[in-house]
Amino acid sequence: GAGVSQTPSNKVTEKGKYVELRCDPISGHTALYWYRQSLGQGPEFLIYFQGTGAADDSGLPNDRFFAVRPEGSVSTLKIQRTERGDSAVYLCASSSGRGNQETQYFGPGTRLLVL
Amino acid sequence: AQSVTQLDSQVPVFEEAPVELRCNYSSSVSVYLFWYVQYPNQGLQLLLKYLSGSTLVKGINGFEAEFNKSQTSFHLRKPSVHISDTAEYFCAVSRGISGGSYIPTFGRGTSLIVHP
3-class state of residue B37 by DSSP: strand
Where exactly are the structural domains of chain B? 3-115
CATH 3.40.50.1970 fits B3-115, yes or no: no
Could you tell me the domains of chain A?
5-114 (2.60.40.10)
Q: How many C-beta neighbours within 10 Å does residue B111 have?
A: 16
Predicted local confidence at residue B94, as pLDDT: 85
pLDDT at A74 over 90: yes
Min Cα–Cα distance to chain A from B49, Å: 9
Nearest CA in chain B to A104: B46
Query: pLDDT digits over B61-87, tens only?
Result: 999 999 998 999 999 999 999 999 999
Cβ <8 Å between B103 and A40 = no
Q: Which of A65-69, B20-24, B98-102 has the lowest mean pLDDT?
A: B98-102
Predicted local confidence at residue A89, as pLDDT: 96
* DSSP E strand boundaries for B1-116: 3-5, 10-14, 19-21, 24-26, 32-38, 44-50, 56-58, 64-68, 73-78, 87-97, 101-106, 110-115
Mean pLDDT (whole number) for B43-62: 91
Contact B97/A at CB under 8 A: yes
Residue A106 CA to residue B99 CA, distance in Å, equals 19
CB-nearest to B41 from A4, A105, A108 is A108
State the Cα torsion A52-A105-A44-A84 to the nearest 10°.
-80
Min Cα–Cα distance to chain B from A38, Å: 10
A53-60: long-range contacts at Cβ-Cβ below 8 A with a sequence spacing of 24 or more? A55/B97, A55/B98, A55/B99, A55/B101, A56/B97, A56/B103, A59/B103
Nearest CA in chain B to A51: B99
Contact B32/A at CB under 8 A: yes
What are the C-alpha distances in Å from A52 to residues A25, A48, A99, A104? 13, 10, 18, 18
